Chains A and B, each alone.
Chain A
Amino acid sequence: MVTIELNQPGKTVLMMGDEAIARGAIEAGVDFCASYPGTPATEIPESLARVADRFNIYAEWSTNEIVAFEAATAASLAGLRALVAMKQNGVNVCSDFLMTVNLAGTNGGLVFVAADDPSAISSSNEQDSRSYARYADLPLLEPADFQEAKDMTKWAFEVSEKLGLPCILRSVTRLSHSRGNVKLGELPEKKRTAKFEGVYISGAFVAAQHAALHQKLEQAREDFEPSRFNFYVGPRKAKFVIVTCGSGWLYSREAVAALGLEGKVGILKIGTTWPLPEKFIIDHLKNVTEVFVVEEVDPFLEQNLKILLAEQAKTLGPIEVYGAKSGHRPPFGELNQDKVITALTSIKGLQARTRDEKYIEKAKEALTYIPPRMPTFCTGCPHRASLWAIKSALKLDGRDGFVTGDIGCYSIGAGPAGFFQLKTIHCMGAGIGLANGFGKLEKFGFNQPVIAVCGDSTFYHAAIPALINARVNNSNVLMVVLDNGGTAMTGFQPHPGSGCDALGRPAPTVEIENICKAIGVEVRVRDPFEISQAVQDIYDMLQENGPRVMVFRRRCFRIEAKEKLQKKYYVDQTKCIGDDCGCARFCSRVFNCPGIIWDQEAQRAKIDEMVCTGCGVCATLCPRGAIIVRGAAS
C-alpha cells in the first residue's frame, strides 16, 4: 500500500488495478473523491482516502452511488478534478443523474469509474456497463492492463475537461483485483481553488443540448483517433485480425502466441471504445477478410464495429465477423485465454491444444474424494445468530412465513450458512421494497408473515423510501436490520451510523432507530447473541400488524477483533456427552460455525482454536453448558 504515494518517477512497482487507477488520479492531481463501496471498485477510493492528507484530496464514503456522483460533479462544477468509482450496480443507481449531467455538462475533469464484475464473482448480477456510455453519449475508455489503468485514468481527466463531460473509465474484476507491473509517473504540483460560475441546467433547451452533446462526442472521436491506447500488433498485411479491448487484449495476445499464430494473425487493440476511432479502425482493416472480436460480456465492441463495417462496406468489402453472434465467444461469464484459444482453433480449423484426457479423468476422480467448500459466515458473525433467531421464530409462528433478502454478507444466508432463510435477493433495498408488496396481499387470501432483512449500510443506501412507503400504506411487514456497524462485505468501510469518516476521523452519526421513529414505525433494538430473547421478540413482532422494525445490533466480529483481544473458549469434554446428549451435535452440525469441530476420537465436540474467534454464542446455545471460557470458573 505504500507504493501509491511513492515519488519515484520511472520506478516499476506491483500494483492492483484499482491502486493503479487511484495512482493515475493522483498523477492527474485529483482533488475530490466520493464513492460508495462495492466490489471490485472499493480499493480505488480506499487508496485515495489513505493518502488524502498528503495530496490534499477530499475523500468521502457517500450514502450511495448517486449521491457520490452528484457530490463529485459539484467539485467538477467548481473547477476541481474529481473521481467517483463504483461497482456495476452502482452505475444503475447513478443512471438518473448520468442522463442529465451529460446534457448540462461539467467543468473540471470528472472521471466516472464503472467496475464490472463478469461472472458475478462478488455480485448479484452480471452486466456490461459500457452500454451506458452509448446510452448517455459519453466518452468511454477501457484500460487493458495495469499500466494503462494508471495512464488512462490520468488521461481521462484531460478528456473530460476538454469535452466538458464526465469520462467513463470501465474496469473489470480481473483488472481491478489483479496486480501487475506499473511504472510510476510524476506527482504534480496542485494549486487549484474552487469557484462556481456559470449555469448547468438540463431541461432548458434539451434538444439543443442533446445536439451539442452529439457534437462533443464527434470531438471525442477525433481526439481518440491518434490515442496511444489504440494500437495494432502483428504482420503488416494480415487477412485475419482480432479486434479486442479491455481484458481481451492480454488473453488474445497469449492465445495467438500459444497457437504460434504471431506471423498470421494481427491484433487491433482499442482503448477508446466509445465513440470508436473509426478512421484508425478502417485503416487497419483495409486488407482484412476476417475479424474476431474478443471482449468480455456484451458484444458492445462487436456491434459497434459491425455498424462501422456496414457503413464502410464499399471501402472495406465483405468482412466475416466472428464473436458472440457467431457463437465463438459466449456473451456472458468472464473471458480467459482458453476461451480465446478454443474460438481461434475452431475458426481457423486448427488442432486444439488438448490436455491428456486420462490425466484429467484421474484428477477429476480425486475431486469426488474431497468435500466441497461453501463460503460461510465467519466464526463470531452476528448474522448466523440473527438468522437462527429468525428461523426459530418463523417456525414457532407456523404460518409459513418467509424472508426477503438484500445485498450484503447476509446474502449467503440464502444457503446453508444462514439455514436457507433468504428467499429473494435482487438489488440493494429490494428486500423491504418487495416486502411492502407482500404485506398488502391480505385481500387475496395471503396470510404468510414477511420478514425483510437488510444490512445497516443497505438501510441508509436504499431502504428508507420503501420503509416510508410501508408506513404510509400500512403494509404488514417486519423489517430486520442486521446492524453490524459497518459495510462489512467490502471491508468495513464506515456508513452514516459508524461515527467516523473515510479517513477514520470522528463523524456525526445518524441512528437507524431514530430514522424509524421519525417515520413512525415501531422499532426495537436487540443483541442477536442473546438468542432466546431475540427469538421471543421476533415471534412477538410477527403477531403484530403494520410495519415494524427490529434492529439486531452487534458489531461485525472482524471489526471487534481489530479492536480487542478475544476470549478463548474450549469444550469441556467431560460435560459434553456427545451423541448421548440428544442435541444432534447442535454446535458443530446444526449451528454450523466453522470454529467448532467434531472430535472423532473422543466423540465429543471440540473448539478449533485456529478458527474460533471467541464470540461465545455457542456457549449460550449448548444445552449441556459444555462450552466454557478459558480461565473462567466452570
Chain B
Amino acid sequence: MTLEKDPLNLIIAGVGGQGNILASQIVATAGIKEGLYVTVGETYGASQRGGPVMSHIRFSARAQCGPLIPEGEADIIVGLEPIEALRIIGDFGNPKTRVIVSPRPIYPIWVLSGQAKYPPVEEVLQKLGELVAEVRVVKAIQEGETGLVANVVIVGDLAGSGMLPIALQNFEDSIREIFAPKDLALNLQAFRKGVELARGKAVASTPIKTRKRK
C-alpha cells in the first residue's frame, strides 16, 4: 500500500476533558487495522481540565514515524474547539492544510476572569479560512444534547470526509475494540451521525469555505 502523501500528518486539538486522547486512539487504531504504521504523540499529564491538549497522529505505509509533526507539516487539523484549531496553525499549518472544526467554544480561565476576550466564533472561523485550504464546521451536538460523545461525532465526520485513507469499517471495528460494551451503542451511533454529517445527509454540518488552491 502507498499513501498519496507519506507520512500523512493529522493533529487533533482541543481542551483537556474533551476526549481528545480517545478520539486519537480511535483514529490510530483504525489506521493500524488498515495496515499502516501509525504514531500518536500526545500532550497531556499537566493538562488538567481546561488546558490545551493536542495529539499528533502520523500515518505511513513505509515506516514508524516520530511522535511529533514537524513545523508547518500538518495535512489535516481536527479542532474540537475553535480557538484551539486556530492556535496551532501558526506552528503546524500550511496553505494546503484541511480543517474540521467544532464551533462550540470552551472559555479559557482568563476570559472568565475578564482579563481576555473570546472573539466571535464566526471571526475565528473566518481567520482559519484565510490560512488553510478548507474548513469544515461541524456542529457535533445541538444545544441541550450531552457533550460526552461530541469527540466521536467529529471522528465520524473525519472518517466520512474521506480525508484519511482508512475504510469506515476499520473505524467501526476500532470503536468496538476500544469501548466497553455498555458505552458501545452510544458511541457507534455518534460515529455514524458524524459520517452522515460529512456526507451532507444531516443538516448541522456547514462547509463554510472551500478555497481552490492556486
A residues apposed to B, CB below 8 Å: 2, 12-14, 39-40, 121-122, 145-147, 173-175, 177-181, 247, 250-251, 253-254, 258, 336-338, 341, 355-356, 359-360, 362-364, 366-367, 369-379, 409, 412, 416-417, 585, 588-590, 592-594, 596-598, 608, 610-611
Instruction: Name the distance in Å between B22's Cβ and chain A's nearest Cβ.
Output: 12
Chain B 4-32, CB within 8 Å of chain A: the 1/0 string?
00000000000111000000110011011
Neighbouring B residues of A146 by C-beta, 8 Å:
64
Instruction: Name the distance in Å between B194's Cβ and chain A's nearest Cβ.
Output: 18
Neighbouring A residues of B50 by C-beta, 8 Å:
373-378, 594
B111 on the A face (CB < 8 A): yes
B93 on the A face (CB < 8 A): yes
Q: Are B67 and A178 within 8 A (Cβ)?
A: yes
* Sampled A-B contacts (30; CB under 8 Å): A14-B29, A121-B46, A147-B64, A173-B45, A178-B42, A179-B42, A180-B38, A181-B37, A247-B66, A250-B66, A254-B65, A337-B66, A360-B72, A363-B131, A367-B90, A369-B86, A370-B124, A371-B111, A372-B110, A373-B84, A374-B110, A375-B16, A378-B17, A589-B112, A589-B113, A590-B113, A592-B112, A594-B107, A610-B147, A611-B106
Instruction: Name the distance in Å between B174's Cβ and chain A's nearest Cβ.
Output: 9
Please name the residue on chain B nearest to A590 by beta carbon.
B113
Q: Are A336 and B111 within 8 A (Cβ)?
A: no
What 3 A-B pairs come out closest when comparing CB atoms?
A122-B45, A375-B51, A371-B116
* CB < 8 Å neighbour of B110 from A13, A40, A371: A371
Q: Are A14 and B108 within 8 A (Cβ)?
A: no
Q: Are A174 and B41 within 8 A (Cβ)?
A: yes
Instruction: Name the distance in Å between B95's Cβ and chain A's nearest Cβ.
Output: 6
Instruction: Name the distance in Å between A221's Cβ and chain B's nearest Cβ.
Output: 28
When chains A and B are docked, how far (Å) is the Cα of A219 from the Cα of B38? 37
Q: Choose among A356, A367, A585, A596 the residue with the greatest number of B CB atoms under 10 Å from its CB.
A: A367
A371 with B118, Cβ < 8 A, contacts A251-B66, A376-B109 known: yes
B127 on the A face (CB < 8 A): yes
Neighbouring B residues of A370 by C-beta, 8 Å:
83, 86-87, 119, 124
Q: Are A416 and B130 within 8 A (Cβ)?
A: no
When chains A and B are docked, how far (Å) is the Cα of A593 from the Cα of B112? 8
A174 with B49, Cβ < 8 A, contacts A355-B94, A372-B110, A592-B109 known: no
Neighbouring B residues of A122 by C-beta, 8 Å:
44-46
Q: Are B90 and A375 within 8 A (Cβ)?
A: no
* CB < 8 Å neighbour of B71 from A338, A589, A608: A338
When chains A and B are docked, how far (Å) is the Cα of A590 from the Cα of B113? 6
When chains A and B are docked, how far (Å) is the Cα of A336 from the Cα of B95? 23
* CB < 8 Å neighbour of A412 from B48, B110, B130: B48
A174 with B90, Cβ < 8 A, contacts A14-B29, A374-B110, A594-B107 known: no
Please name the residue on chain A nearest to B112 by beta carbon.
A588
* CB < 8 Å neighbour of B45 from A121, A181, A355, A590: A121
Chain B positions 55-70 with a Cβ under 8 Å from a chain A Cβ: 63-68, 70
Please name the residue on chain A nearest to B109 by beta carbon.
A376
Neighbouring B residues of A147 by C-beta, 8 Å:
64
A121 with B28, Cβ < 8 A, contacts A180-B38, A366-B86 known: no
Q: Choose among B24, B39, B112 the residue with the greatest number of A CB atoms under 10 Å from its CB.
A: B112
B210 on the A face (CB < 8 A): no
A179 with B39, Cβ < 8 A, contacts A355-B71, A375-B47, A375-B48 known: yes
When chains A and B are docked, how far (Å) is the Cα of A334 from the Cα of B23? 25
Instruction: Name the distance in Å between A601's Cβ and chain B's nearest Cβ.
Output: 13
Q: Are A373 and B28 within 8 A (Cβ)?
A: no
When chains A and B are docked, how far (Å) is the Cα of A583 from the Cα of B52? 30
A interface SS class: mixed
Neighbouring A residues of B43 by C-beta, 8 Å:
121
Q: Are A366 and B89 within 8 A (Cβ)?
A: yes
Please name the residue on chain A nearest to B83 by beta carbon.
A370
Having A180-B67, A373-B110, A597-B107, one finds 13 other A-B pairs with CB under 8 Å, namely A258-B70, A363-B131, A366-B131, A369-B127, A373-B51, A374-B51, A374-B110, A376-B49, A592-B112, A593-B112, A594-B50, A610-B106, A610-B147
A181 with B64, Cβ < 8 A, contacts A14-B38, A366-B90, A598-B114 known: yes
B183 on the A face (CB < 8 A): no
When chains A and B are docked, how far (Å) is the Cα of A359 from the Cα of B141? 33
Neighbouring A residues of B197 by C-beta, 8 Å:
none
Neighbouring B residues of A416 by C-beta, 8 Å:
109-110, 113
Instruction: Name the distance in Å between B196's Cβ and chain A's nearest Cβ.
Output: 23
B117 on the A face (CB < 8 A): yes
Please name the residue on chain B nearest to A180 by beta carbon.
B39
Q: Are A364 and B109 within 8 A (Cβ)?
A: no
Q: Are B39 and A178 within 8 A (Cβ)?
A: yes
* CB < 8 Å neighbour of B66 from A336, A366, A597: A336
When chains A and B are docked, how far (Å) is the Cα of A421 from the Cα of B112? 19
Chain B 100-136, CB within 8 Å of chain A: the 1/0 string?
0000101111111110111100011001001100000
Please name the residue on chain A nearest to B84 by beta carbon.
A373
B177 on the A face (CB < 8 A): yes
A180 with B64, Cβ < 8 A, contacts A359-B94, A375-B51 known: yes
Neighbouring B residues of A597 by C-beta, 8 Å:
107, 112
Neighbouring B residues of A180 by C-beta, 8 Å:
37-40, 64, 67
Neighbouring B residues of A145 by C-beta, 8 Å:
64
When chains A and B are docked, how far (Å) is the Cα of A336 from the Cα of B68? 7
Neighbouring B residues of A594 by C-beta, 8 Å:
49-50, 106-107, 109, 112
Neighbouring B residues of A409 by C-beta, 8 Å:
48
Please name the residue on chain B nearest to A42 by beta carbon.
B45
Q: Are A181 and B32 within 8 A (Cβ)?
A: yes
Please name the residue on chain B nearest to A379 by beta carbon.
B49
Chain B positions 128-173 with a Cβ under 8 Å from a chain A Cβ: 130-131, 147
When chains A and B are docked, how far (Å) is the Cα of A364 from the Cα of B48? 26
Q: Are A179 and B28 within 8 A (Cβ)?
A: yes
A181 with B38, Cβ < 8 A, contacts A366-B89, A366-B127, A366-B131 known: yes
Q: Are A375 and B46 within 8 A (Cβ)?
A: yes
When chains A and B are docked, how far (Å) is the Cα of A481 from the Cα of B64? 45
Neighbouring B residues of A177 by C-beta, 8 Å:
41-42, 44-45
